[in-house]
Structure 1
């Protein structure tokens, strides 16, 4: 029995240490870190109090389990978080069962297991929020769709697939004329394409469609539903972006909790008829004052994108210059090359 108790005490403490590192160094959450540390020390005290008997029962060389390969493969922080919470909870359950058979006071093990369920939920909410923002940080090329020049859905989907192949990292499905049924059908197909290329999928304006499809988020205009309401409907993990045209709108969007903003239209564009362009001055202001991800948007093409990047943009959203290009794959690749050159010049 002591062998089982020793193994599971060590297993639970090791799991707690891994979880605590995430809370401390990735989330920078003092409260979570303290709770995890206290729990780890409580379990460590049991080892200290029974150190001799537990050590004498240990037989690592004779443990047949050391040669059994673990089939799971952890690829990211999510995997580490989930695996170690399950490892902790399973170990605590074993300690309760076998500790009771040995006549130990198992109240600590039981309470620790229940506490771990709450800690797992609290940490999930904060971790998912931060990982979502990290995904946005690494995305530089954003395509907003326009279906008006295509003769069929298949042509439209082929253009999107080509753009994704070329390196587009976020797709926003923009449908101003489609009814809800058609929007949903289009959205499901575009979502599948995005999944194939690990691209984020955003719905323009329609929070209801985003919810039904299970999109990564929604992009709102100044006259659309407010950010709080959209987040209430879509959940805390949803990415919510907002179009802005002046610094005051950008500041208001940040204060309202937008995950990213659009800055534009930089140049005049037929996708926003009647909307006066904001020019490069607003882009430059955003580069100096906005600390959440932002995308310069509006009339950007391969001929003028350098001017946009030169005043401080590091992310761009493009419509016609990619979706209506003869080769969307090639156009997207060329935009990415220019963005990469900008990143390289900054790093130097």
Structure 2
């Protein structure tokens, strides 16, 4: 920002830093800047004086010290003010003023430096005691100041005649050919990388949903190259004289695993997309815009694929997921949890809607001890804050709770995030949002949630997800020992249950019965 500040604005920021450093407040408000603007002989000082606001009034009102040496020597370097005002920029209030000042200056029809008057406007536009005092004392507001600041800059003038002319040199045929060669090579790299990733998704991950996303990216490549011209690209190709074909590194031939191979080609796609985006700007802005979209899409694709692989590994042995509610448990939550853990459950969710936060935290810590002793994972329903408080392995949210992005910011990168989904569109979106697993249902009527009859996703939804999605997912909703076979035949390999275990007189016995089909 330093090259946009006038000398007066630069001096005002330095004075503000001096005054702030002499103030007793640990985090200064905006009063030091207000005093500095009044101290500096500038446009801002003139405006304030016109409204009967001077330096003495400001110092008295905000009890500020006056710098012992108010004079500032001329600045030799435009970089100096920025370095000297770094202390101010660490405070949000000052950054807000600078942002407002920049916006005000940018509203001019001609290029305008940020002056002291813009800093004053930024201060008035910020909600604080200083702006309120200026309005009360001098009837000075951002709205009133706006017109006087910009009137002079909105005036148009005839251009100045000069005795020289600027010439632009047109690109040569050789320049155009070299640009097309670069685009052609990068397009080939991107296409090849996409093919490798597609083959991985097809034969290793077997994920139809992610394959469809990848195919749409390939279609985007075709659309973008139409703006460039495929004939021109082929005509410009010169593989025999491409010096890059003879340069290689040993790491190119080192692929330690399928995951390593996948990551290498994801990076190849991203790098090629960036080259295409930049060089196509010389040929077609439409193509450049498409390549930019492809680059961002590749970042999402990378995250989604790697999350899927990591979640499959982490939940590989989790087949029966127990959702525990105290009110459903025949002998209380404790016996149900401990007996089911002993029988083989390795994933437990605390699902309490009526407990107070304090009681829920105490209960959660107790369940955390039981699951840890059994080597099982613990999930907290709906509450990322309590998931952290009890050191749970993750949190589960529904369609009406916090989105995955916000939950991830709370719980961090290592805890699992599960999402309830009720149709295939929600399931696809949860995958792209970065969920570690999804709940798929309700499959049958359930005692834990009330759904209208037409809202039951049923076994058809289970079949849809089984055909498309390889991110770990659990069929959920009304699953019992007598209908479990139907769910597995529909394609589910994991199920989540609640009342069938919690309300059973012998939770361990029914748990073993439910786990038996998974061992066959």
For normalisation by structure 2, the TM-score amounts to 0.41
> Are 1:137 and 2:316 an aligned pair?
yes
1:28 matches 2:259: yes
Alpha-carbon distance in 2 for matches of 1:31, 1:301: 40
Counterpart in 2 of 1:264?
A: 441
Equivalent residue for 1:325, pick from 504, 517, 520: 504
Q: 1:38-49 counterparts in 2 under 5 A?
A: none
Q: Which residue of 1 aligns with 2:110?
A: none
Q: Which is further off, 320-329 or 243-252?
A: 320-329
Question: How far apart, CA to CA, are the structure 1 residues paired with 2:496 and 2:262?
Answer: 39
C-alpha deviations, 1:297-324, integer Å up to 9, x for none? 0000001110111111110000011111
Q: Which runs of 5+ in 2 are unaligned?
A: 1-250, 265-305
- Aligned pair partner of 1:251 in 425, 428, 446: 428
What CA distance in whole angstroms lies between the structure 2 residues aligned with 1:325 and 1:194?
20
Alignment pair present for 1:156 and 2:307: no
Where do 1:68-79 residues align within 5 Å? none
Contact 1:299 1:318 in 2 (8 A): yes
In the other structure, the counterpart of 2:492 is: 313
In 1: Cα distance, 2:471 partner to 2:507 partner: 28
User: What is the SS of the residue equivalent to 1:172?
Assistant: strand
SS in 2 for 1:148: helix
Per the TM alignment, residue 267 of structure 1 is displaced from its structure 2 partner at its CA by: 0.4
Counterparts of 1:150 and 1:221 in 2: how far apart (Å)? 23
What is the Cα-based RMSD across aligned positions, in Å? Answer: 2.6
- 1:51-82 per-residue CA deviation (whole Å, 9 max, x = no partner) reads xxxxxxxxxxxxxxxxxxxxxxxxxxxxxxxx
Report how far residue 169 of structure 1 moved.
1.4
CA pair 339-145 structure 1, distance change in 2 beyond 3 A: same
Indicate yes or no: 2:365 matched with 1:188.
yes
SS for the counterpart of 1:242 is: strand
Deviations 1:234-284 (A, max 9, x none): 111110000000000000100101110000010011211135321110001
Seen in structure 2, the aligned counterparts of structure 1 residues 31 and 288 have a Cα distance that, compared at 3 Å, is closer
2-structure distance, mates of 1:203, 1:186:
11
Instruction: Write the distance in 1 (CA, Å) between the matches of 2:314 and 2:431.
Output: 18
- Aligned length in residues: 226
Alignment check: 8 A CA contact 2:459 2:487 kept: yes
Q: Please list the CA deviations of residues 158-197 of structure 1 after superposition, one character each: whole Å capped at 9, or x if unmatched.
A: 1100011111110000010111111111110111111111
- Residue 263 of structure 1 contacts residue 297 of structure 1 at CA under 8 Å; is this kept in 2? yes
Map of 1:9-20 to 2, 5 A cutoff?
Answer: none
SS in 1 for 2:501: helix
Q: Which aligned pairs between 1:234-245 and structure 2 lie closer than 5 A?
A: 234-245=411-422
Residue 170 of structure 1 contacts residue 199 of structure 1 at CA under 8 Å; is this kept in 2? yes
Segments of 5+ residues of structure 1 without an aligned counterpart are: 1-19, 34-126, 342-348
CA 1:281 to 1:150, structure 2 compared with 1: closer, same or farther past 3 Å? closer
Q: Would the aligned equivalents of 2:440 and 2:474 in 1 still touch at CA under 8 Å?
A: yes
> 1:73 maps to what in 2?
none
- Runs of 4+ deviating beyond 6 Å: 30-33, 127-130
- Which residue number in structure 1 is paired with residue 347 of structure 2? 170
Tell which structure's C-alpha radius of gyration is larger.
2
Contact in 2 for aligned 1:202/1:218 (Cα 8 Å): yes
How far, CA to CA, are the matches of 1:320 and 1:248 in structure 2?
28
Contact kept, 8 Å, 1:132 with 1:237, in 2: the verdict is: no
Q: Is the Cα–Cα contact under 8 Å of residues 129 and 237 in structure 1 kept in the other structure?
A: no
State the partner residue of 1:202. 379
Secondary structure of 1:292 counterpart? coil
Mapped to 1, the partners of 2:262 and 2:483 lie a distance apart of 48
Structure 1 residues 142-151 or 202-211, which shifts more?
142-151
Within the alignment, does 1:215 sit opposite 2:446 as a pair? no
